[in-house]
Structure 1
Amino acid sequence: MPITAVEKDLDALTMTITADFPVPVRRLWDAYADPRQLERFWGPREWPATFTRHDMFPGGRSHYVMTGPDGESAGGWWEFLDVEPPHAFEVLDGFAGPDGQPAQDMPTTRMRFTFEETAHGSRLVVRAVFTSAEDLDELLRMGMEEGTVSAMSQIEEVLDDAGDRTPSRPARSQLLNDTQVRVSRVVSGSLEDVSEAHRRPDLLQRWLLGPDGWTMPVCEVAEEPGDTYRYEWESEDGQQRFGFTGELLEAQPPHREVTSEQMIGMDGPGTTNELTLTPVDGGTLLSLVITYPDRELRDTVLGTGMVDGMEASYARLESEVLAAR
């Protein structure tokens, strides 16, 4: 087990856990920055987590649900107070109710994660600060120490996975629950360049085309929350045309953008798309969480080959836009 020390200071209301790993600091940092990796070890082994949001920047938030062996669930959230990649980040950690909102009647904890280089790899120091002796007692009774130790003992398995060390690979989808899917890919480009390529019409029209054989004659970008956007695509032979429209709901450039989406000419509810961009080794992790109105529509859309079309666009983004930077 990589954990070398667990120290509790009841007077200072703190608990500090130290663990050593035989990998570079950046590799360990990326395990926390990438929700696909983080959810493989955050939470006790018997209570795996699913992150439906993970915005690793100051002011960003994370939402997750841990699922127990009998199907029971427990929600949680982080609010990022400080992020200093790849050396440290600090969060306010709390519990969430069934609706995903913070549980006001449950204690919160301030946690700082520090990543240090050692002669043999890297060291992770996690220091939790509690708001009162009562909160500390309650969380310890609930098994916080055992749960944190169990969670950290799984990090080695993620760090040893060669697949998680691959800088870039085709876009892949992951079902998060009955209505949400996450499409993710590491794009070989800086955070700023990838973000700009999602906001400039002249760049979007060069890469956001899906499979070969399509053009994007209409690209009206929403610049501020409340603005609407409209994208239309046409086959090169002019025989087919389709498009989407929606509203920019939230924008925290260059890290996060949330939009609604409705196919032009189609009735019924659309989707909500949450795009998060995170710097990682090898480029920028692009994570798109799509929320559908129901499971049936989600599965229908995925069955159209949507992810393959997205991969074609991301490959074009790398080769025709970012490579020229």
Structure 2
Amino acid sequence: MPVTDVTTDPEALTMTLTAEFAAPVERLWQAFTDPRQLERFWGPPGWPATFTTFDMQPGGRAIYHLTGPRGETSYGSWEFLGVDAPRTFEVLDAFADEDGTPQAEMPESRMVFAFEPTADGSRLRNVTYFSSADALEQVVAMGVVEGTRMAMNQLDRVLEGLRAYAGGKGTQTEILDDTHVRITRLIDGPVDLVWRAHQEPALIQQWLLGPDGWRMSVCEVDPTVGGRYRYEWEPLEATEGERFGFDGETLVSEAPRRAVTTEHMTGTDFPSTLNDLALYEEDGATLITLVIEYPDAQTRDIVLATGMTDGMEASYARLEGVLAGV
């Protein structure tokens, strides 16, 4: 993980993040000053950022919003106070309304981003200055410290490039906290096809099968927001097991980049999970990122112990073969 430290200082009214990266300063600077790259990591998992304005010059502004897994939206804005490429830039950071106007009732802060070379790459030091102890406490209570850490820990995949970051590594599962797990898999194929393979029943039934020996007997999908889906699997004759299925609802659909759904095991009173699927294409390959929210750590561990990662890898390997023939 690149983040080495996040500390708050109530006396100095600051929050300081330090992170180390195996990339030169110029590459790190580019990631923070190109809005298309910045929005790939600025929001924490489950809350991706979208920058609609980015005028990086003193007096210019950046306006962005974060979209949560249930469709919630949080707006923010930066006013650029100074820019000294590729060493540092400084912004006035504010919570904003839909038009990007800062909200007077919410805390405003000054952020300084500093980039410096190291023996192995580069270092980011991000210091946020608050106007009062109350403002610092309010932001900490909102979970900004942990959210910032999780957001910056996504930056490696941007700096390295998708093929270097995930190519040949298969399905990777990472526990983010007690209730969240992140699964990544690089698929050799364009994002439009990978999106279709997650939305169209004729394609889904060819790859979403888990280990060999099963078939998807039911695949009903309404991918629109508020629409429902239902999957059922049954074993082939030579495979032991019982029919089972999942059903759920689509909460967010942003083709071909993001879909958020609930997932419930059909016919049981087990609690539902929240599945946040994000797709990003680079150099002809698409990174699948699936963030799953469980009701508690116990449920998370029970599901992971079923061999979920291996089953997903079998499906994703099958998906690459399906895409090659589309």
TM-score (norm 1): 0.61
Residues 1-42 of structure 1: CA deviation (Å, up to 9, x unaligned): xxxxxxxxxxxxxxxxxx85379x89x98994796xx5xxx7
Q: Could you tell me which amino acid in structure 1 is paired with residue 123 of structure 2?
A: S
Q: Secondary structure at the match of 2:183?
A: strand
Say if 1:312 and 1:110 are closer, same or farther in 2 by CA, change over 3 A. farther
Aligned to 1:51: 44
Say if 1:164 and 1:20 are closer, same or farther in 2 by CA, change over 3 A. same
Task: Number of aligned residue pairs: give it.
Answer: 239
Gaps (5+ residues) in structure 1? 1-18, 43-49, 54-60, 63-77, 84-89, 117-122
The percentage of aligned residue pairs carrying the same residue is 38
In terms of mean alpha carbon deviation, does 187-196 or 157-166 score higher?
157-166
Gaps (5+ residues) in structure 2? 1-23, 55-61, 94-100, 117-121, 125-151
Say if 1:81 and 1:127 are closer, same or farther in 2 by CA, change over 3 A. farther
Aligned to 2:78: 109
Q: Could you tell me which amino acid in structure 2 is paired with residue 246 of structure 1?
A: G
1:153 aligns to 2:123 (yes or no): yes
- CA RMSD across the alignment: 4.2
TM-score (norm 2): 0.60
Q: Distance in 2 between matches of 1:30 and 1:189?
A: 24
Q: Distance in 1 between matches of 2:166 and 2:45?
A: 23
Q: Distance in 2 between matches of 1:161 and 1:254?
A: 20
* Aligned 1:91-110 pairs, distance under 5 A: 92=64, 102=74, 108-109=77-78
Contact 1:168–1:187, Cα closer than 8 Å, also in 2: no
Q: Distance in 2 between matches of 1:31 and 1:308?
A: 33
* Aligned 1:148-297 pairs, distance under 5 A: 148-149=113-114, 153-154=123-124, 158=156, 159=159, 164-237=164-237, 240-297=242-299
Contact 1:258–1:274, Cα closer than 8 Å, also in 2: yes
Q: Secondary structure at the match of 1:204?
A: helix
Q: Distance in 2 between matches of 1:301 and 1:230?
A: 19
Deviation at 1:110, TM superposition (A): 5.8
Q: Distance in 2 between matches of 1:160 and 1:284?
A: 14
1:21 aligns to 2:26 (yes or no): yes
Q: After the TM superposition, which segments of 4 or more aligned residues of structure 1 sit over 2 Å from their partners?
A: 19-23, 28-35, 90-94, 123-132, 137-140, 150-155, 157-169
Say if 1:286 and 1:233 are closer, same or farther in 2 by CA, change over 3 A. same
